[in-house]
Amino acid sequence: MTAPLLTSLAASGGDRPDALTVGGHRLSREELLGAAGAVAARIAGAPAVAVHASATSETVVAVVGALLAGVPAVPVPPDSGPAERDHILRDSGAALLLAGAAAEIAEVPVETVRVDPAERAEWSKAEPAPESAAFTLYTSGTTGAPKGVVISRRAVAADLDALADAWAWTAEDTLVHGLPLFHVHGLVLGVLGALRTGSRLVHTGRPTAAAYAAAGGSLYFGVPTVWNRVVQDPESARALSGARLLVSGSAPLPAPVFRDLERLTGQRPVERYGMTETLITVSTRADGERRPGSVGTPLPGIRTRIAAEEGAEVGELQLTGPTLFDGYLNRPEATSGCYTEDGWFRTGDIATVEPDGFHRIVGRASTDMIKSGGYRIGAGEIENALLDHPAVHEAAVVGAPHEDLGQQIVAYVVADGVTEQDLIDFVATQLSVHKRPRKVRFLDALPRNAMGKPQKKLLPPA
């Protein structure tokens, strides 16, 4: 049976003064619990509270305080514009906005409460029921206004325990990362994971190669953009050779970056797969094989299947298990539309499963499955091929309408000293000829979100 979410936080025996370091501010677990208790006392009974989720100790105190009080926490990106911020505040039903003293908060439709990590109060009430909501996390809103994803305490606890098992994550570890604290990766895994396992946490503020190298961790989290910056700084990369595990997620890790990390640090990174709605569901294990382009096998309790057209090996990844969300807030039709008739969650991601159970994510069904000349082609395979060219720094591939082929393959690249035909010919030598791009567009940079994922819908017309 899964233990309550905050059990290990309250068990603060053997505490150390730098159990958590966020933005240069150190807290012991006892200090965190006292400061969070003060927050819990102020917000108890609220229907939900928003958190100005900057990379600060105030954010951690606010979130833990909400969890203690049993009030759903609603992280708000600190750089969100007025329209996005107000939508999240109103849609979530948040009664308050928790923020640090230094946070600059424009006029908002709810009361702002300042969080002080030095404040202390004892909180002795029982932990809320496992099925109650821990978070309402808002999606990126690529298809309309962002939707609130309701995640239960039970789902968070089950996921963190499964990851601790897969990654051999214990209280002996020091976790290092510099990821945003308003997403699953940085907040749920990167903060609550450390609190639940008892490991030390160092949040570097900005995820720079130098900051990662200086942190002296045993376990590192990063997105592909971070790992790419690390390998561009060989001295910093080599400083990570003493780490036990390098974990990459939130987007596919390009094969060249995978190989450079192995060359510079002496170890292959672990890749994993998940969504806001499902948390992390598939991962390479610390004691297992680590293959470039593969996200490993399902975590304990997770079942997966591929819904593919007859004769095809590639199809939509569907899954079921204890880490799934409770639904979109106040959107029952959107929630029901995410499930098949027999109750499996439709991820919208295209994947293949190898005979030994290893999963490869090809891309999003809406943007990354290209149907060209009767072939079904995954954009991710072509992107990795392009990134193998020494002149290519970034790559994104889409399917564009074509009168004869249905769709033609168009590549957007950031590259130096190479021509369109050079890249078309290069891909044709690496993959089947029908997978070569028909057009190549050169850009200064790919549009990306806060987690480093390329935003293909923001690419210029082909």
Instruction: Identify the helix (H) or strand (E) that includes residue 442.
Output: strand 439-442
Alpha helices, H only, 188-267? 193-197, 209-215, 224-231, 234-238, 255-265
The per-residue pLDDT for 374 is 64
Burial of 41 (0-12, 13-18, 19+ CB in 10 A): middle
Write the class of the CATH domain 7-151: alpha beta
According to CATH, where is 3.30.300.30 located in the chain?
Answer: 369-458
What CA–CA distance (Å, rounded) separates 382 from 391? 15
The per-residue pLDDT for 90 is 95
Helix (H, G, I), strand (E, B) or coil at 351: strand
According to CATH, where is 3.40.50.12780 located in the chain?
Answer: 7-151, 191-364
Q: What is the DSSP letter of 190?
A: I
- Fold for the domain defined by 369-458: GMP Synthetase; Chain A, domain 3 (3.30.300)
Q: Which CATH architecture has domain 191-364?
A: 3-Layer(aba) Sandwich (3.40)
Which of 222, 214, 143, 228 minimizes the C-alpha distance to 190?
222
DSSP class per residue in 105-146: ----SSEEEEE-TT------SPPPPTTSEEEEEE---TTSS-
Give me the tens of pLDDT residue by residue for the chain, a chain 462 residues long. 678 888 766 555 457 889 999 989 999 999 999 999 999 999 999 999 999 999 999 999 999 999 999 999 999 989 887 888 899 999 999 999 999 998 888 788 899 999 999 999 999 999 999 999 999 999 865 446 789 999 999 999 999 999 999 999 999 999 999 999 999 999 999 999 999 999 999 999 999 999 999 999 999 999 888 998 999 999 999 999 999 999 999 888 888 899 999 999 999 999 999 999 999 999 999 999 999 989 999 999 999 999 987 766 788 999 999 999 999 999 999 999 999 999 999 999 989 999 999 999 987 776 777 878 766 687 887 888 899 899 999 999 999 888 778 789 999 999 999 999 999 999 988 887 888 999 999 999 999 877 677 888 899 987
Core vs surface per residue 185-221: b (16+ CB within 10 A) or e: bbbbbbbbbbbbbbbbbbbbeebbbebbbebebbbbb
The per-residue pLDDT for 142 is 46
Which of 295, 269, 284 minimizes the C-alpha distance to 361?
295
Helix (H, G, I), strand (E, B) or coil at 70: coil
Q: Residue 149 in contact with residue 139, Cβ under 8 Å?
A: yes
What CA–CA distance (Å, rounded) separates 340 from 353? 20
Which one-letter amino acid corresponds to residue 105? I
Q: Residue 249 in contact with residue 182, Cβ under 8 Å?
A: no
Rg (CA), the chain: 22
